[in-house]
Copies of this chain bind each other. A is one copy, B any other.
Amino acid sequence: MTDQRKPRAVRGTLSPGSIAESALTLGDQEGPESMTARRIAAYVGCDPMTLYRHFANRIALLDAVADLAVGDVLLPDDRAPWVTRLRETLANTRRTALAHPGIAPHIAARPPLGPHGQQIGRMLLGALQDAGLGDEETVATSQVLIAYLSSSIAMAVATHGQRDDRWTEAVRALRTIGQVSTESMPAVGSIEQFTLGLDLLLNGLQLRTTTGSQAQGGR
């Protein structure tokens, strides 16, 4: 990641950072379909090719924009209870990602692993370690949490931006199973649905850790 040879200061104030910032602003205003190399170049006022002197390719540029966006995430105090740290970190990341509609789909598809993303990752790992999990469990659990977060963002983007006919249709069809009444249920991708699943994950985690006994793998 540090092998990016940064040439001398290019004309004026153009740099990977300034390009990513401009692209983020553009995406905030115009949405995901504006995040093409050509439209970003037009917005920052340079030739499309100039972007490729600062980034290896379009994906690398979007990675930078994504990590920049999650830099807005407000991280909880290290001294808060570990459950609180997990809940707030995840909820704030979701909210921040959705506040940047242009790059949110990319964040969902590719967890940002730049400096800001790593900071979030460290917060999650630290909280899980404080919960008393071992190393392997810590990493595995963090992946479960990140997976849930990513999918939640993706679902929120899909249902907000487009139509949710596909989901409502499927949920309706699923009413044939048992007595599940789908009428009064929170919509897929909604904050209510996200919170429900999050509570479920965190409660399960709390039970595991407070039980004192390590549950053995099933099968």
A83: min CB distance to chain B, Å: 5
- Enumerate chain B residues within 8 angstroms of A87, measured Cβ to Cβ: 218-219
Q: Which of A13-21, A32-40, A207-215 contacts B (4 or more CB under 8 A)?
A: A207-215
A193 at the interface (CB under 8 A from B): yes
* A197 contacts B113, C-beta separation under 8 Å: no
Q: Which of A117, A188, A202, A204 has the most chain B CB atoms closer than 10 A to its own CB?
A: A204
- Enumerate chain B residues within 8 angstroms of A193, measured Cβ to Cβ: 140, 143
* B180 contacts A139, C-beta separation under 8 Å: yes
A151 at the interface (CB under 8 A from B): yes
A71 at the interface (CB under 8 A from B): no
Q: A197-B143, A202-B218 are in contact. Are A113 and B180 (CB under 8 A)?
A: no
A109 at the interface (CB under 8 A from B): yes
- Enumerate chain B residues within 8 angstroms of A45, measured Cβ to Cβ: none
Q: A150-B151, A200-B141, A217-B199 are in contact. Are A135 and B170 (CB under 8 A)?
A: no
7 interchain residue pairs of minimum CB distance: A204-B204, A147-B151, A140-B196, A199-B217, A113-B170, A203-B215, A144-B197
Given A143-B197, A147-B147, 15 more contacts at CB 8 Å? Answer: A83-B218, A87-B219, A109-B109, A122-B174, A122-B177, A137-B196, A137-B200, A139-B185, A140-B193, A140-B200, A143-B188, A147-B151, A196-B217, A201-B204, A202-B218
Q: List 7 A-B contacts (CB under 8 A).
A: A113-B169, A138-B180, A144-B200, A147-B147, A199-B218, A203-B216, A207-B208
